[in-house]
Structure 1
Amino acid sequence: MNNLLRFAHHLLLLLCYLRPSSSSRYDALFNFGDSMSDTGNVQISTLPYGMTFFGNATGRCSDGRLVIDFIAQELGLPLLPPSQEDHDFRRGANFAVVAATTLAFDFFNDRDLSKGLWVNASLHLQIDRFRRLLPSICGAAQECKEFLRRSLFIVGEFGGNDYSTALFFARPVGEVSTFVPHVIDALRHGVERLIELGAVDLVVPGVLPVGCFPLYLTNYRSLDPDDYGPRTGCARRYNALSWLHNTLLRRALDQLRRKHPAVSIRYADYYSQIIDIAVDPSKYGFTDGALRTCCGGGDNIYNYDQKRRCNEKNYTVCANVSTHVNWDGIHMTEAAHRVIADGWLRGPYVDPPILSSS
């Protein structure tokens, strides 16, 4: 009996050793988006950007790694190279571009907002670039289909720049909310294009609660206390815009799941996660709160001033970046990105989580 038990024990250990780990499920990772996940397609910054992990600026809008970096590392993949440079993309590529919009230039030009765009890198154009690169990554069409079946796609965040382009030019929130159905249609179409190319596993993040960004809280300050959430301190009307986007996005993704039942399409809930952090930042180790900028400067509770932005004249950097959620007024710290990535990898903010076997 003892020999039988020992044999069973050794067999169990062997099976555990041979079982593929979650991180081996993907051969490649492809990302599309804006400054929340650009890893170098736009080189707009110098130190202190990149100071925490890289020791130099890499084009990332943070002090260190982004959510997409933590996901790549957890999956056993290299940090994603920017697609606009010459790299080997067989393990993945990043098509995200700082300031990218979901919608095309014409949409904003028709509304006299094109002067607010300084890149032309819509979701449609990012997917076009991916399509053109595919033959050099995986060969013929059938080979690419097999390759893409073993790849993970992150599509977003998209939408933030579509709305801020108008909001920064003093367009009322009510007018900007009419953009939302157009943005969602473009996102739906983009996801379907990727599915047609062979994607079978996609994560589509919603937008962040921008009413929790120091930039919005400072530049669009209200004297009415009812305009702010009593538990978070975030600006309600801007968060309502984000909430509308996310509600319509989830509805669109439900429709896509019914249309493509063999494809995994998961929603990543930036909004709920950041609201939870804002309600109780100390639960995540953020002792300096969620609404105070680390890099920049300002004589207000948010430490933000449009004339003293991070890496501009008279800016300062907080003594301990890891205790802050917000980096520069509109982007987050590496510490916050780590927390968010964990919520996507292990749940509950992606369902099922990226590391699940489902």
Structure 2
Amino acid sequence: MYLSRAFLCTGSPVAMNSFTFGHLLFFFILLLHPSSSQRYNALFNFGDSMSDTGNVQISTLPYGMTFFGNATGRCSDGRLVIDFIAQELGFPLLPPSQEEHDFRRGANFAVIAATTLGFDFFDERGLSKGLWVNASLRLQIDRFERLLPSVCGAARECKEFLGKSLFIVGEFGGNDYSTALFFARPIDEVSAFVPDVIDALKHGVERLIALGAADLVVPGVLPVGCFPLYLANYHTPNPEDYGPRTGCARRYNALSWLHNTLLRRALEQLRRKYPGVAIRYADYYSQVINIAIDPVKYGFTGGALRTCCGGGDNIYNFDQKRRCNEKNYTVCTDVSTYVNWDGIHMTEAAHRVIANGWLHGPYVDPPLLSSSSS
């Protein structure tokens, strides 16, 4: 069985003295707490369906129903994490890089179903037929390099411009693993891909640093064992296969945990190598696990493991034959009370909660809106 994440988306001296002192105080405060628009020149994003804002236009309503009123290529009912971050930092919603736009305020290079690793890696393992797109991290950065002259001019000017921009690199890795898992490859075999994925991610971050990036956020992968697609398609009768507090599938979350452990280790190596560069880890995993443990705490009365858009005669409301936007699908009455949108992507409400955890903490350290992160 093959499935990619894409399958679901389609005056006076006194007055003058007061004036001068007030302005000095104002500028001093700005230095300590710069506004988002002054902090960053631009925002650049790389990734897969978790953050694609229109590079792949495959979806129709009800995708996009909540905020946009129409499908935009986003794999959700509304805005994604990257959208909330862009808005909070004072940027417009990031334009997809594969359309004609003015990219001087930023661009989104993420592509639905994108992998970290390139075509050859999967082809050598008999998995290339499972690649829905050829849009690896390397190819996304290639496209970024080609666009740079139109964004910031010559290399020297670009280096200065990019040094005051924010880069979000990922998440990456989910599709590398699902490409093999959905071809029924054993999870032990898939786990062996992790070092290669991390090396490719590390190399991509270094390429961006070489171009001038000095402020990067690198998210880990999500706990895929908490997503209805995995829970329904790979269900087992053994209760020990599931976390007692979350109900998530342990073996698949263990794969995500391994990836994130090696990624954090790699990022620490990069911090030592590039002490003048801010490299932050975004902890998707812990955040989604915490939501799964107590979804009501975050306002998700519809639960964390049940699909909103789709259908299925199981507790996860997921069935391959009733996927979101396909025959006989249904949409939950109140999307804002659900974490999961279509079985493997999240709702706008969940994205909002996650974005707040990155902007204000504690799931990005230091948070994106902290003065120490400027």
**TM-score, normalization: structure 2?**
0.92
Residues 146 and 218 of structure 1: is their aligned pair in 2 closer, same or farther, counting only changes over 3 Å? same
Contact 1:22 1:356 survives alignment (8 Å): no
Query: Is 1:140 aligned to 2:150, yes or no?
Result: no
SS of the residue aligned with 2:213?
coil
SS of the residue aligned with 1:154?
strand
Aligned 1:210-229 pairs, distance under 5 A = 210-229=224-243
Aligned 1:1-358 pairs, distance under 5 A = 15-16=25-26, 19-20=29-30, 21-24=34-37, 25-358=39-372
Percent same amino acid among aligned pairs?
84
User: How far did residue 27 of structure 1 move?
Assistant: 1.6
Structure 1 Cα separation of the partners of residues 120 and 102 of structure 2? 33
Contact 1:346 1:354 survives alignment (8 Å): yes
User: How far did residue 15 of structure 1 move?
Assistant: 2.8
User: How far did residue 263 of structure 1 move?
Assistant: 0.2
SS of the residue aligned with 2:275?
coil
Structure 1 Cα separation of the partners of residues 72 and 339 of structure 2? 20
SS of the residue aligned with 1:307?
helix
Question: What amino acid sits opposite 1:32 in the alignment?
Answer: F
Structure 2 Cα separation of the partners of residues 234 and 130 of structure 1? 37
Structure 2 Cα separation of the partners of residues 296 and 10 of structure 1? 62
Q: How many residues align?
A: 353
Q: Unmatched 5+ residue regions in structure 1?
A: none
User: How far did residue 318 of structure 1 move?
Assistant: 0.3
SS of the residue aligned with 1:189?
helix
Structure 2 Cα separation of the partners of residues 357 and 29 of structure 1? 18
SS of the residue aligned with 2:167?
strand
Contact 1:325 1:335 survives alignment (8 Å): yes
Q: Unmatched 5+ residue regions in structure 2?
A: 1-13
- What are the superposed Cα offsets for residues 12-63 of structure 1, whole Å, 9 maximum, x if unpaired? 6973587333412112000000000000000010000000000000000000
Residues 17 and 322 of structure 1: is their aligned pair in 2 closer, same or farther, counting only changes over 3 Å? farther
Residues 234 and 30 of structure 1: is their aligned pair in 2 closer, same or farther, counting only changes over 3 Å? same
**TM-score, normalization: structure 1?**
0.96
Structure 2 Cα separation of the partners of residues 65 and 259 of structure 1? 35
